[in-house]
Chain A
Amino acid sequence: MTELRYLAPGTLDEAVGAFAKAGSAARILAGGTDLLVQMRSGLLKPGVIVDIKKIPEMTAIEQTADGGFRIGAAVSGMALAEHKNFGRVWPGVLEAVNLIGSKQVQGRASAGGNLCNGSPAGDSVPAMVAAGAIVTVQGPDGRREMKVEDVPAGPGRTNLKPGEILVSFTLPPRPPGSSDAYLRMIPRTEMDIAVVGVGVSLTVKDGTVTAARVGLGAVAPTVLLVEDAAKALIGSKLDDAALAKAAAACSAACRPIDDKRGTIAYRTRVAGVLLKRTVAIAAQRATQKN
Protein backbone atom coordinates (compact mmCIF):
# COMPACT_ATOMS: atom_id res chain seq x y z
CA MET A 1 0.00 0.00 0.00
CA THR A 2 1.36 3.38 -0.98
CA GLU A 3 1.82 5.92 1.72
CA LEU A 4 -0.38 8.92 0.96
CA ARG A 5 0.79 12.32 2.10
CA TYR A 6 -1.63 15.24 2.38
CA LEU A 7 -0.12 18.71 1.99
CA ALA A 8 -1.99 22.00 2.35
CA PRO A 9 0.55 24.72 1.56
CA GLY A 10 -0.32 28.35 2.21
CA THR A 11 1.54 29.76 -0.78
CA LEU A 12 1.58 29.02 -4.47
CA ASP A 13 5.38 28.69 -4.51
CA GLU A 14 5.23 25.95 -1.88
CA ALA A 15 2.42 24.22 -3.76
CA VAL A 16 4.28 24.31 -7.07
CA GLY A 17 7.45 23.04 -5.36
CA ALA A 18 5.67 20.13 -3.66
CA PHE A 19 3.62 19.26 -6.73
CA ALA A 20 6.60 19.29 -9.10
CA LYS A 21 8.77 17.31 -6.66
CA ALA A 22 6.21 14.54 -6.27
CA GLY A 23 5.93 14.13 -10.04
CA SER A 24 3.31 11.82 -11.46
CA ALA A 25 2.36 10.50 -8.02
CA ALA A 26 0.88 13.87 -7.07
CA ARG A 27 -2.66 15.12 -7.50
CA ILE A 28 -4.06 18.58 -6.94
CA LEU A 29 -7.06 18.76 -4.61
CA ALA A 30 -9.51 21.61 -5.19
CA GLY A 31 -13.13 20.57 -4.56
CA GLY A 32 -12.26 16.87 -4.69
CA THR A 33 -15.58 15.89 -6.24
CA ASP A 34 -13.82 13.89 -8.95
CA LEU A 35 -10.54 13.07 -7.19
CA LEU A 36 -12.15 11.42 -4.17
CA VAL A 37 -14.44 9.33 -6.37
CA GLN A 38 -11.44 8.16 -8.43
CA MET A 39 -9.53 7.30 -5.26
CA ARG A 40 -12.46 5.47 -3.69
CA SER A 41 -13.05 3.40 -6.82
CA GLY A 42 -9.39 2.38 -6.89
CA LEU A 43 -8.82 4.09 -10.24
CA LEU A 44 -6.21 6.37 -8.71
CA LYS A 45 -3.74 5.92 -5.85
CA PRO A 46 -1.93 9.24 -5.45
CA GLY A 47 1.19 9.36 -3.31
CA VAL A 48 0.81 13.05 -2.55
CA ILE A 49 -2.26 15.24 -2.46
CA VAL A 50 -1.65 18.98 -2.68
CA ASP A 51 -4.71 20.81 -1.34
CA ILE A 52 -4.65 24.29 -2.92
CA LYS A 53 -7.52 25.81 -0.94
CA LYS A 54 -5.27 27.34 1.72
CA ILE A 55 -3.72 29.56 -0.96
CA PRO A 56 -5.70 32.83 -0.92
CA GLU A 57 -5.34 33.42 -4.67
CA MET A 58 -6.94 30.07 -5.43
CA THR A 59 -10.20 30.80 -3.61
CA ALA A 60 -10.56 34.53 -4.36
CA ILE A 61 -13.07 36.20 -6.68
CA GLU A 62 -11.88 39.67 -7.64
CA GLN A 63 -13.34 42.31 -9.87
CA THR A 64 -10.35 43.80 -11.68
CA ALA A 65 -9.87 47.57 -12.10
CA ASP A 66 -10.97 47.44 -15.75
CA GLY A 67 -14.23 45.65 -14.86
CA GLY A 68 -13.11 42.11 -15.62
CA PHE A 69 -13.12 39.23 -13.16
CA ARG A 70 -10.41 37.01 -11.78
CA ILE A 71 -11.67 33.73 -10.34
CA GLY A 72 -9.37 31.46 -8.37
CA ALA A 73 -9.13 27.94 -9.76
CA ALA A 74 -10.56 26.41 -6.56
CA VAL A 75 -13.56 28.75 -6.14
CA SER A 76 -16.63 26.55 -5.68
CA GLY A 77 -19.75 26.93 -7.79
CA MET A 78 -21.71 27.95 -4.72
CA ALA A 79 -19.18 30.66 -3.83
CA LEU A 80 -19.41 32.02 -7.37
CA ALA A 81 -23.23 32.02 -7.16
CA GLU A 82 -23.08 33.92 -3.87
CA HIS A 83 -20.91 36.70 -5.34
CA LYS A 84 -23.03 39.82 -5.66
CA ASN A 85 -21.85 40.95 -9.11
CA PHE A 86 -20.49 37.97 -10.98
CA GLY A 87 -23.82 36.49 -12.09
CA ARG A 88 -25.03 39.83 -13.36
CA VAL A 89 -22.01 40.29 -15.63
CA TRP A 90 -21.51 36.65 -16.64
CA PRO A 91 -24.87 34.88 -16.23
CA GLY A 92 -23.90 32.22 -18.79
CA VAL A 93 -20.65 31.28 -17.09
CA LEU A 94 -22.47 31.13 -13.77
CA GLU A 95 -25.31 28.95 -15.06
CA ALA A 96 -22.74 26.61 -16.63
CA VAL A 97 -20.72 26.30 -13.42
CA ASN A 98 -23.93 25.81 -11.45
CA LEU A 99 -25.01 22.89 -13.66
CA ILE A 100 -22.14 20.76 -12.37
CA GLY A 101 -23.65 18.16 -10.06
CA SER A 102 -25.98 18.62 -7.11
CA LYS A 103 -26.08 21.46 -4.57
CA GLN A 104 -23.77 19.34 -2.44
CA VAL A 105 -21.29 19.05 -5.30
CA GLN A 106 -21.70 22.77 -5.98
CA GLY A 107 -20.49 23.45 -2.46
CA ARG A 108 -17.09 22.09 -3.44
CA ALA A 109 -16.65 21.63 -7.20
CA SER A 110 -14.67 24.31 -9.02
CA ALA A 111 -14.33 25.56 -12.59
CA GLY A 112 -10.60 24.87 -12.25
CA GLY A 113 -11.20 21.21 -11.51
CA ASN A 114 -13.79 20.99 -14.26
CA LEU A 115 -11.23 22.30 -16.77
CA CYS A 116 -8.26 20.25 -15.53
CA ASN A 117 -10.22 16.99 -15.56
CA GLY A 118 -10.20 17.39 -19.31
CA SER A 119 -13.69 16.01 -19.82
CA PRO A 120 -15.06 16.98 -23.25
CA ALA A 121 -18.45 17.31 -21.51
CA GLY A 122 -17.43 19.59 -18.62
CA ASP A 123 -20.24 22.16 -18.37
CA SER A 124 -18.22 25.20 -17.36
CA VAL A 125 -15.70 24.86 -20.19
CA PRO A 126 -17.80 25.89 -23.25
CA ALA A 127 -19.06 28.91 -21.30
CA MET A 128 -15.52 29.88 -20.31
CA VAL A 129 -14.41 29.47 -23.93
CA ALA A 130 -17.29 31.68 -25.09
CA ALA A 131 -16.35 34.22 -22.42
CA GLY A 132 -12.82 34.43 -23.79
CA ALA A 133 -11.35 33.49 -20.43
CA ILE A 134 -7.58 33.46 -20.03
CA VAL A 135 -6.10 31.08 -17.49
CA THR A 136 -3.02 31.72 -15.40
CA VAL A 137 -0.89 28.67 -14.66
CA GLN A 138 2.19 28.43 -12.52
CA GLY A 139 4.88 25.79 -12.60
CA PRO A 140 8.55 25.24 -11.92
CA ASP A 141 9.41 27.59 -14.81
CA GLY A 142 7.20 30.38 -13.53
CA ARG A 143 3.88 31.82 -14.50
CA ARG A 144 2.23 31.90 -17.91
CA GLU A 145 -1.12 32.59 -19.44
CA MET A 146 -3.11 30.41 -21.82
CA LYS A 147 -6.41 30.74 -23.64
CA VAL A 148 -8.89 28.51 -21.87
CA GLU A 149 -9.61 26.62 -25.13
CA ASP A 150 -5.92 25.68 -25.34
CA VAL A 151 -5.97 23.84 -21.99
CA PRO A 152 -7.79 20.59 -22.89
CA ALA A 153 -5.68 18.15 -24.93
CA GLY A 154 -8.13 15.25 -25.13
CA PRO A 155 -10.35 13.22 -22.83
CA GLY A 156 -8.73 13.38 -19.37
CA ARG A 157 -5.65 15.23 -20.63
CA THR A 158 -4.52 18.87 -20.60
CA ASN A 159 -1.72 20.91 -22.14
CA LEU A 160 -0.40 21.92 -18.71
CA LYS A 161 3.27 20.99 -18.41
CA PRO A 162 4.46 18.60 -15.68
CA GLY A 163 4.37 20.42 -12.35
CA GLU A 164 2.12 23.23 -13.56
CA ILE A 165 -0.93 24.19 -11.52
CA LEU A 166 -3.96 26.11 -12.77
CA VAL A 167 -4.20 29.28 -10.67
CA SER A 168 -7.08 31.38 -11.99
CA PHE A 169 -9.42 32.39 -14.78
CA THR A 170 -9.45 35.99 -15.98
CA LEU A 171 -12.61 37.13 -17.73
CA PRO A 172 -12.40 40.31 -19.79
CA PRO A 173 -14.31 43.53 -19.13
CA ARG A 174 -17.73 43.70 -20.78
CA PRO A 175 -18.69 46.44 -23.23
CA PRO A 176 -22.29 47.73 -22.90
CA GLY A 177 -24.82 45.44 -24.59
CA SER A 178 -22.94 42.26 -23.74
CA SER A 179 -24.15 39.05 -22.17
CA ASP A 180 -23.79 35.30 -22.35
CA ALA A 181 -25.68 32.05 -21.93
CA TYR A 182 -25.03 28.32 -21.61
CA LEU A 183 -27.39 25.49 -22.48
CA ARG A 184 -26.81 21.79 -22.39
CA MET A 185 -28.83 18.86 -23.60
CA ILE A 186 -29.23 16.03 -21.13
CA PRO A 187 -31.65 13.10 -21.22
CA ARG A 188 -33.16 14.10 -17.85
CA THR A 189 -33.89 17.38 -16.10
CA GLU A 190 -31.03 17.54 -13.60
CA MET A 191 -27.81 15.87 -12.49
CA ASP A 192 -26.54 14.42 -15.74
CA ILE A 193 -23.64 14.75 -18.15
CA ALA A 194 -24.05 16.92 -21.26
CA VAL A 195 -24.83 15.26 -24.59
CA VAL A 196 -24.16 18.64 -26.13
CA GLY A 197 -23.27 21.90 -24.35
CA VAL A 198 -23.20 25.34 -25.98
CA GLY A 199 -21.84 28.58 -24.54
CA VAL A 200 -22.47 31.85 -26.36
CA SER A 201 -21.19 35.32 -25.55
CA LEU A 202 -22.53 38.29 -27.51
CA THR A 203 -22.21 42.05 -27.74
CA VAL A 204 -25.19 43.69 -29.42
CA LYS A 205 -25.26 47.34 -30.51
CA ASP A 206 -28.43 48.85 -32.00
CA GLY A 207 -29.70 45.38 -32.83
CA THR A 208 -26.54 44.27 -34.61
CA VAL A 209 -24.08 41.75 -33.18
CA THR A 210 -20.67 43.40 -32.90
CA ALA A 211 -18.84 40.60 -31.10
CA ALA A 212 -19.56 36.90 -30.57
CA ARG A 213 -17.84 33.79 -29.29
CA VAL A 214 -19.20 30.25 -29.31
CA GLY A 215 -17.93 27.34 -27.22
CA LEU A 216 -19.16 23.82 -27.95
CA GLY A 217 -18.86 20.85 -25.60
CA ALA A 218 -19.39 17.07 -25.57
CA VAL A 219 -19.17 16.67 -29.35
CA ALA A 220 -15.40 16.23 -29.86
CA PRO A 221 -12.35 15.01 -27.89
CA THR A 222 -12.03 18.53 -26.46
CA VAL A 223 -14.34 21.49 -25.98
CA LEU A 224 -14.24 23.58 -29.16
CA LEU A 225 -14.14 27.27 -29.98
CA VAL A 226 -16.35 27.51 -33.07
CA GLU A 227 -15.05 30.54 -34.92
CA ASP A 228 -17.21 29.98 -38.00
CA ALA A 229 -20.34 30.17 -35.87
CA ALA A 230 -19.16 33.43 -34.32
CA LYS A 231 -18.36 34.84 -37.79
CA ALA A 232 -21.89 34.01 -38.96
CA LEU A 233 -23.35 35.94 -36.03
CA ILE A 234 -21.09 39.01 -36.11
CA GLY A 235 -22.53 41.80 -38.23
CA SER A 236 -25.96 40.16 -38.31
CA LYS A 237 -29.19 41.20 -36.66
CA LEU A 238 -29.63 37.56 -35.62
CA ASP A 239 -31.96 36.94 -38.54
CA ASP A 240 -32.92 33.38 -39.50
CA ALA A 241 -30.27 33.14 -42.21
CA ALA A 242 -27.44 34.11 -39.83
CA LEU A 243 -28.72 31.74 -37.17
CA ALA A 244 -29.00 28.89 -39.68
CA LYS A 245 -25.43 29.54 -40.82
CA ALA A 246 -24.12 29.61 -37.24
CA ALA A 247 -26.05 26.44 -36.40
CA ALA A 248 -24.62 24.71 -39.47
CA ALA A 249 -21.12 25.79 -38.41
CA CYS A 250 -21.66 24.16 -34.98
CA SER A 251 -22.93 20.94 -36.54
CA ALA A 252 -19.99 20.96 -38.96
CA ALA A 253 -17.53 21.33 -36.08
CA CYS A 254 -18.84 18.18 -34.34
CA ARG A 255 -16.65 15.10 -34.20
CA PRO A 256 -18.64 13.23 -31.58
CA ILE A 257 -18.76 9.67 -30.32
CA ASP A 258 -21.73 7.32 -30.25
CA ASP A 259 -22.59 6.35 -26.71
CA LYS A 260 -25.54 5.54 -24.50
CA ARG A 261 -26.35 9.24 -24.08
CA GLY A 262 -26.52 10.13 -27.75
CA THR A 263 -25.61 9.02 -31.23
CA ILE A 264 -23.28 10.88 -33.59
CA ALA A 265 -26.24 11.97 -35.74
CA TYR A 266 -28.20 13.17 -32.72
CA ARG A 267 -25.34 15.13 -31.16
CA THR A 268 -24.51 16.75 -34.50
CA ARG A 269 -28.10 17.85 -35.06
CA VAL A 270 -28.62 19.02 -31.49
CA ALA A 271 -25.45 21.14 -31.57
CA GLY A 272 -27.10 23.38 -34.17
CA VAL A 273 -30.45 23.49 -32.39
CA LEU A 274 -28.86 24.37 -29.06
CA LEU A 275 -26.75 27.09 -30.68
CA LYS A 276 -29.91 28.88 -31.83
CA ARG A 277 -31.56 28.57 -28.43
CA THR A 278 -28.45 29.72 -26.58
CA VAL A 279 -27.99 32.72 -28.88
CA ALA A 280 -31.60 33.72 -28.23
CA ILE A 281 -31.04 33.75 -24.47
CA ALA A 282 -27.72 35.59 -24.68
CA ALA A 283 -29.21 38.18 -27.05
CA GLN A 284 -32.21 38.76 -24.83
CA ARG A 285 -29.93 39.29 -21.83
CA ALA A 286 -27.58 41.54 -23.79
CA THR A 287 -30.35 43.81 -25.03
CA GLN A 288 -32.47 44.01 -21.89
CA LYS A 289 -29.59 45.34 -19.84
CA ASN A 290 -29.46 48.64 -21.72
Chain B
Amino acid sequence: MAKVHVTTTINGEPMEFLCEPDDTMLDALRGPLALTGSKEGCASGDCGACSITLDDRLICSCLMLAVEAQDHEIKTIEGMAQGDKLHPLQQKFLEMAALQCGICTSGMLVASDALLRKNPEPSEEEVRFWLAGNLCRCTGYDKIVRAVMETAAEMRAQ
Protein backbone atom coordinates (compact mmCIF):
# COMPACT_ATOMS: atom_id res chain seq x y z
CA MET B 1 0.00 0.00 0.00
CA ALA B 2 1.17 3.49 -0.77
CA LYS B 3 1.78 5.49 2.37
CA VAL B 4 -0.09 8.74 2.82
CA HIS B 5 1.65 11.92 3.94
CA VAL B 6 -0.32 13.77 6.62
CA THR B 7 0.32 17.31 7.89
CA THR B 8 -1.38 18.16 11.14
CA THR B 9 -1.01 19.87 14.52
CA ILE B 10 -0.46 17.80 17.63
CA ASN B 11 -0.42 19.40 21.07
CA GLY B 12 0.12 22.78 19.43
CA GLU B 13 3.12 21.67 17.34
CA PRO B 14 3.01 21.28 13.55
CA MET B 15 3.61 17.60 12.73
CA GLU B 16 3.96 15.42 9.67
CA PHE B 17 3.79 11.67 9.45
CA LEU B 18 3.35 8.81 6.99
CA CYS B 19 0.61 6.25 7.43
CA GLU B 20 -1.32 3.54 5.66
CA PRO B 21 -4.78 4.66 4.47
CA ASP B 22 -6.46 2.29 6.91
CA ASP B 23 -4.32 3.14 9.96
CA THR B 24 -6.25 4.61 12.82
CA MET B 25 -5.13 7.81 14.53
CA LEU B 26 -4.20 5.61 17.48
CA ASP B 27 -1.92 3.54 15.21
CA ALA B 28 -0.22 6.76 14.03
CA LEU B 29 0.15 8.15 17.54
CA ARG B 30 1.65 4.98 18.96
CA GLY B 31 3.67 4.20 15.81
CA PRO B 32 5.37 6.91 13.73
CA LEU B 33 4.56 9.72 16.16
CA ALA B 34 5.85 7.76 19.19
CA LEU B 35 3.21 9.26 21.47
CA THR B 36 2.38 6.15 23.44
CA GLY B 37 0.39 7.77 26.24
CA SER B 38 -2.84 6.97 24.41
CA LYS B 39 -3.57 3.28 25.01
CA GLU B 40 -5.31 0.65 22.96
CA GLY B 41 -7.81 -1.16 25.17
CA CYS B 42 -10.58 -2.44 22.93
CA ALA B 43 -9.93 -0.89 19.47
CA SER B 44 -13.70 -0.57 19.06
CA GLY B 45 -14.62 2.67 20.81
CA ASP B 46 -15.90 1.05 23.98
CA CYS B 47 -13.19 1.66 26.56
CA GLY B 48 -11.94 5.22 26.06
CA ALA B 49 -8.28 4.42 26.81
CA CYS B 50 -7.30 6.04 23.49
CA SER B 51 -9.21 9.31 24.15
CA ILE B 52 -7.82 12.40 22.44
CA THR B 53 -9.36 15.64 21.24
CA LEU B 54 -9.85 16.50 17.58
CA ASP B 55 -10.41 20.25 17.15
CA ASP B 56 -11.10 20.35 20.92
CA ARG B 57 -13.78 17.67 20.73
CA LEU B 58 -13.34 14.46 22.72
CA ILE B 59 -13.09 11.35 20.54
CA CYS B 60 -11.64 7.83 20.53
CA SER B 61 -8.49 7.83 18.42
CA CYS B 62 -9.17 4.18 17.52
CA LEU B 63 -12.33 5.32 15.70
CA MET B 64 -10.59 7.92 13.53
CA LEU B 65 -8.46 7.29 10.47
CA ALA B 66 -4.99 8.80 10.74
CA VAL B 67 -5.42 10.40 7.30
CA GLU B 68 -8.35 12.38 8.70
CA ALA B 69 -5.90 14.36 10.86
CA GLN B 70 -4.85 16.37 7.78
CA ASP B 71 -5.23 20.10 8.58
CA HIS B 72 -6.87 19.40 11.94
CA GLU B 73 -5.73 19.87 15.49
CA ILE B 74 -5.09 16.89 17.75
CA LYS B 75 -4.43 17.01 21.47
CA THR B 76 -3.22 14.00 23.44
CA ILE B 77 -2.31 13.19 27.04
CA GLU B 78 1.27 14.23 26.23
CA GLY B 79 0.09 17.83 25.89
CA MET B 80 -1.58 17.96 29.28
CA ALA B 81 1.30 18.77 31.62
CA GLN B 82 3.18 22.03 31.11
CA GLY B 83 6.79 20.81 31.11
CA ASP B 84 7.39 19.36 34.58
CA LYS B 85 4.24 20.91 35.98
CA LEU B 86 1.40 18.44 36.05
CA HIS B 87 -2.11 19.50 35.12
CA PRO B 88 -4.29 19.87 38.26
CA LEU B 89 -6.22 16.73 37.23
CA GLN B 90 -3.00 14.72 36.94
CA GLN B 91 -1.81 16.01 40.33
CA LYS B 92 -5.14 15.18 41.97
CA PHE B 93 -5.29 11.69 40.45
CA LEU B 94 -1.92 11.01 42.08
CA GLU B 95 -2.86 12.53 45.43
CA MET B 96 -6.18 10.71 45.65
CA ALA B 97 -4.92 7.40 44.22
CA ALA B 98 -7.40 7.60 41.35
CA LEU B 99 -5.45 5.01 39.39
CA GLN B 100 -4.05 1.57 39.89
CA CYS B 101 -2.71 -0.19 36.81
CA GLY B 102 -2.77 3.02 34.77
CA ILE B 103 -4.02 1.72 31.42
CA CYS B 104 -7.22 3.77 31.54
CA THR B 105 -5.63 6.78 33.19
CA SER B 106 -4.57 8.86 30.20
CA GLY B 107 -8.02 8.41 28.65
CA MET B 108 -9.68 9.30 31.97
CA LEU B 109 -7.56 12.44 32.23
CA VAL B 110 -8.15 13.57 28.64
CA ALA B 111 -11.90 12.96 29.01
CA SER B 112 -12.09 14.68 32.40
CA ASP B 113 -10.18 17.67 31.06
CA ALA B 114 -12.63 17.92 28.14
CA LEU B 115 -15.52 17.87 30.64
CA LEU B 116 -14.08 20.59 32.88
CA ARG B 117 -13.37 22.84 29.90
CA LYS B 118 -17.03 22.56 28.92
CA ASN B 119 -18.51 22.51 32.40
CA PRO B 120 -16.31 23.78 35.25
CA GLU B 121 -18.92 22.84 37.85
CA PRO B 122 -20.22 19.35 37.00
CA SER B 123 -22.41 17.41 39.39
CA GLU B 124 -21.29 13.93 40.40
CA GLU B 125 -23.96 12.53 38.08
CA GLU B 126 -22.62 14.62 35.18
CA VAL B 127 -19.09 13.37 35.85
CA ARG B 128 -20.28 9.76 35.93
CA PHE B 129 -22.25 10.11 32.70
CA TRP B 130 -19.42 11.95 30.97
CA LEU B 131 -16.93 9.23 31.93
CA ALA B 132 -19.29 6.38 30.98
CA GLY B 133 -17.17 5.82 27.87
CA ASN B 134 -13.99 5.31 29.91
CA LEU B 135 -13.69 1.86 31.41
CA CYS B 136 -11.54 1.14 34.47
CA ARG B 137 -11.25 -2.38 35.81
CA CYS B 138 -9.24 -1.45 38.94
CA THR B 139 -10.62 1.48 40.87
CA GLY B 140 -14.37 0.97 40.82
CA TYR B 141 -14.52 4.58 39.52
CA ASP B 142 -15.22 6.16 42.89
CA LYS B 143 -11.76 7.60 43.41
CA ILE B 144 -11.67 8.85 39.83
CA VAL B 145 -15.01 10.62 40.17
CA ARG B 146 -13.97 12.15 43.49
CA ALA B 147 -10.65 13.33 42.05
CA VAL B 148 -12.42 15.02 39.13
CA MET B 149 -14.94 16.69 41.47
CA GLU B 150 -12.18 17.89 43.79
CA THR B 151 -10.04 19.21 40.93
CA ALA B 152 -13.04 21.08 39.53
CA ALA B 153 -13.68 22.68 42.94
CA GLU B 154 -10.03 23.71 43.31
CA MET B 155 -9.81 25.08 39.77
CA ARG B 156 -12.95 27.15 40.36
CA ALA B 157 -11.46 28.55 43.58
CA GLN B 158 -8.33 29.76 41.79
Q: What is the distance, in angstroms, from A50's C-beta to the closest C-beta of chain B? A: 12
Chain A contacts for B130, CB-based, 8 A: 103
Q: What is the distance, in angstroms, from A32's C-beta to the closest C-beta of chain B? A: 6
Asked if B35 lies at the interface with its beta carbon under 8 angstroms from chain A, I say no
Q: Mark A236-274, 1 if CB is under 8 A from B, else 0.
A: 000000000000000000000000000000000000000
Identify which of A29, A39, A78, A191 contacts B133 (C-beta below 8 A): A191
**Residues of B3-25 whose CB lies within 8 A of A:** 4, 20-22, 24
Chain A contacts for B68, CB-based, 8 A: 8, 29, 32, 51, 53
Asked if B116 lies at the interface with its beta carbon under 8 angstroms from chain A, I say no
**Known interface pairs A6-B21, A36-B24; A103-B63 also in contact (CB < 8 Å):** no
Q: Mark A93-127, 1 if CB is under 8 A from B, else 0.
A: 00000000111110110000000000000000000
Number of interface residues of A (CB under 8 A): 30
Asked if A141 lies at the interface with its beta carbon under 8 angstroms from chain B, I say no
Q: What is the distance, in angstroms, from A34's C-beta to the closest C-beta of chain B? A: 9
Identify which of B54, B60, B115 contacts A105 (C-beta below 8 A): B60
Q: Which residue of B lies closest to A190 (CB)?
A: B132
Q: What is the distance, in angstroms, from A232's C-beta to the closest C-beta of chain B? A: 34
**Residues of A8-42 whose CB lies within 8 A of B:** 8, 29, 31-33, 36-37, 39-41
- Which segment of B41-49, B136-144, B149-157 sits at the interface? B41-49
Report the bound CA distance from A8 to B65 in whole Å: 12
Asked if B1 lies at the interface with its beta carbon under 8 angstroms from chain A, I say yes
List 17 additional contacts besides A37-B45, A107-B54, A190-B132; criterion CB under 8 Å: A1-B1, A4-B21, A6-B65, A29-B65, A31-B63, A32-B63, A32-B64, A51-B68, A79-B57, A102-B48, A102-B133, A103-B114, A104-B59, A105-B60, A105-B133, A107-B58, A108-B59
